[in-house]
Amino acid sequence: MTSALNPLLDFSDLPRFDAVKPEHVAPAIAALLDEARTVVKRLEAPMDKVSWENFVEPLENATEKLGRAWGVVSHLNSVVDTPELRAAYNENQPKVTEFWTELGQNLALFDKYKALKESTDYTSLSAARKKIIENALRDFRLGGAELPDDKKARYAQIQEKHAALATKFSENVLDATNDYALFVDNEADLAGLPEDAKHAARAAAERDGKPGYKFTLHFPSYFPILQYADKRELRETIYRANVTKASELGAKPEWDNTQNIAELLKLRDEEAKLLGFNNFAEVSLVPKMAENPQQVIGFLEDLAQRAKPFAENDLAELRAFAQKELGIAKLEAWDVTYASEKLREQRYAFSEQEVKQYFQEPKVIEGLFRVIQSLFSVEVKQDTATTWHKDVKFFRIERNGQLVGQFYLDLYARHGKRGGAWMDDARGRRLIGPKVQTPVAYLTCNFTEPTVVNGKAKPALFSHDEVITLFHEFGHGLHHMLTQVDELGVSGISGVEWDAVELPSQFLENFCWEWDVLQHMTAHVDTGAPLPRALFDKMIAAKNFQSGLQTLRQVEFALFDMHLHFDHDPHGPRTAQEVLNDVRSRFAVMIPPPFNRFQNSFSHIFAGGYSAGYYSYKWAEVLSADAYSAFEEAGAVGGNILSADTGRKFMEEILSMGGARSALESFKAFRGREPSIDALLRHNGMTA
């Protein structure tokens, strides 16, 4: 089948999203699997001499095509889920998983990588190529290449079953989210809710041909109820629906993820034992910065001990305020966000809703691009490409008139789109002959779409938290797009240790708290006036509001994840819920209600690659806060936080290096020393 007939087989440029249909998936994947297996069979044959050119390059060429085509299918499955596309995805996922498992266990290929490592040519290879060979040898061992045949077969079964269960976990969360609807007929029941939230709910009901207001479990829809709705019963209703989705307490038993969690943990444990490890956490940490599970748990518990006094103080203040000012005698989980917003308004004399009026989408995007252009001496320009939805925008990044990278920006929540925010790569940077293949990224968020009020179109308005999310994902995007490494296996985010991959994303978030940045990215939706300095000062004063509680919450999730994969016996009587309860009993200051089933939609660790790796957010935050302090130091001396000199060094030593050297080496090359936790504690207001 030719690329003219099947757009998934066209690798001449960008994906042809306007032409891809579910019926293209099976034939394209079949053709690419055949092509890749033919190349693998040829490369298995004895060679007089193994070289980069006659072995690694042809293998990369064949597998890259499969990876790119399947990447398009996976991306569409995440952002425009339909029954037909889901069926095509689920039909082909086992075939793709089987191929990668076979490849990872191929002893002939493993032997050739070993021969390449031991050859006289190895010393003359670039550092990037050496790193790719070292990573490949490590991954063959982790992929079961050294297992006897019967255990290899079982390992392959585990991978296939694991991929299917992770997909099912994700589908259950999406289906439970899409299915839920709360209709409110009486506007008086929505007292306290901002006008834009009501307009969005009204429009949602109208699209369904219903009167009143419709609320869903998509974040921009349900969260304003938790944050602003005066009616306590309404808050409890939406809270309960959200924390029980995809559980035995949810709407439909077939969407319950409880058994999927138990099965995933058993499969991971079995995989670890097959490979000769004590537990899955040890397997997960092999390609990461952290040395062992005990080190991670020690790091997290230390952070918990530092944060706990601040968290206890946060909660005591909130309970006293809720009782005295709001008449809430016993603070419940569905009151916390509401009471916190009211306390913030009283203490700092502003509300998130007031701030939101200044963050209109066009101005925010313009301000984000200004930061990137100032720091890294590049230009961001509108570009054209076919997309999967009318709301998706496409841009290019240039340096000195030369294309560096491109990205799709898909900002709004909608039916059939997975929740959360993420960056993924559409293709990586590599040298093909004399020509550089430039990287392309997907940047995906779930913000509220623009609305029409009284016949007049209004731009999408972002909360400051959403602006931070946008910067976070763009930081990942820059890591992928600004790479200068020409070897696919370690360019951009490829080959970067998982617990360091959040460094650029969390680093970029810091600029959302700088006056020189915000005054250029705000304009009031009605008046066009920039954010007033007095309001900015209040935001800064409130920056670390409840940071103790927030830090402890992240540590709780990370410890739950690590203990599940380290010292929990998935074949024993204890459930994942009991592991979570135990972590909470030791570290949480506010225990959620017994019906809370947070873990049943914890896609990061059960469907998103963060298993025994959720600690990465806090681990990398030590690196990112310390890296950002270099810009603070430059700003203190030169008066400009957007220091082009510091930005150039950050780009050269961290962003452009990709995975060509260890993250710690890159960090030390930028900072000139080992990382320190001091900046993280200072940024979070958790210093004495």
DSSP, res 531: P
Amino acid letter, residue 94: P
Alpha helices, DSSP H, located in 143-290: 149-179, 195-207, 219-228, 232-243, 258-274, 280-285
Rounded distance between C-alpha atoms, residue 272 and residue 552, angstroms: 29
Within 10 Å of residue 210's Cβ, how many Cβ atoms?
13
Give the residue among 305, 371, 319 at the shortest CA–CA distance from 551: 305
User: Which helix (H) or strand (E) is 34 found in, with range?
Assistant: helix 22-44
For residues 267-285, one letter each, b for 16 or more C-beta atoms within 10 angstroms of the residue's C-beta and e for the rest, the string is bbbbbbebbebebbbbbbb
Q: Using alpha carbons, select from 439, 448, 511 the residue that is nearest to residue 475.
A: 511
What's phi and psi for 17, nearest 5 deg? -60, -30
Q: Which two tokens stand for residue 475?
A: 């930081």
The CA distance from 1 to 12, in Å, is 16
Catalytic-role residue among 60, 64, 271, 473: 473
61 φ, ψ (degrees, to nearest 5): -60, -45
The C-alpha atoms of residue 188 and residue 462 are separated, in whole angstroms, by 25
Nearest CA to 554 out of 641, 634, 617, 610 is that of 617
Residue 531: which residues within 8 A CB-CB, separation 6 or more? Answer: 355, 358, 518, 519, 522
Calpha distance 205→321 (Å, rounded): 35
Number of residues that this document lists for the chain = 688
Q: How far apart are CA 421 and CA 408, in angstroms?
A: 13
Q: Is 473 a catalytic residue?
A: yes
Contact 506, 684 (CB under 8 A): no
- Where do the H-state alpha helices sit in 483-575? 503-509, 515-518, 533-541, 547-566
Angle value at C-alpha 687, between 470 and 505, nearest 5 degrees: 20
| Amino acid residing at 40 | V
**Nearest by Cα to 480 from 553, 408, 556, 583:** 408
Cβ atoms of 106 and 465 within 8 Å: the answer is no
The answer to whether the CB of 284 falls within 8 A of the CB of 613 is yes
The contacts of residue 558 (CB under 8 Å, 6+ apart) are 296, 300, 614, 615, 617, 618
- Looking only at Cα atoms, what is the longest distance across the chain? 82
Tell me if 160 sits within 8 A of 219, measured CB to CB.
Answer: no
Q: Extract the tokens encoding 597.
A: 């089933």
- What separation, in Å, do the N-terminal and C-terminal C-alpha atoms of the chain show? 67
Report whether 351 contacts 344 (CB < 8 A).
Answer: yes
Closest CA to 232 of 187, 182, 192, 181: 192
Q: List active site positions.
A: 473
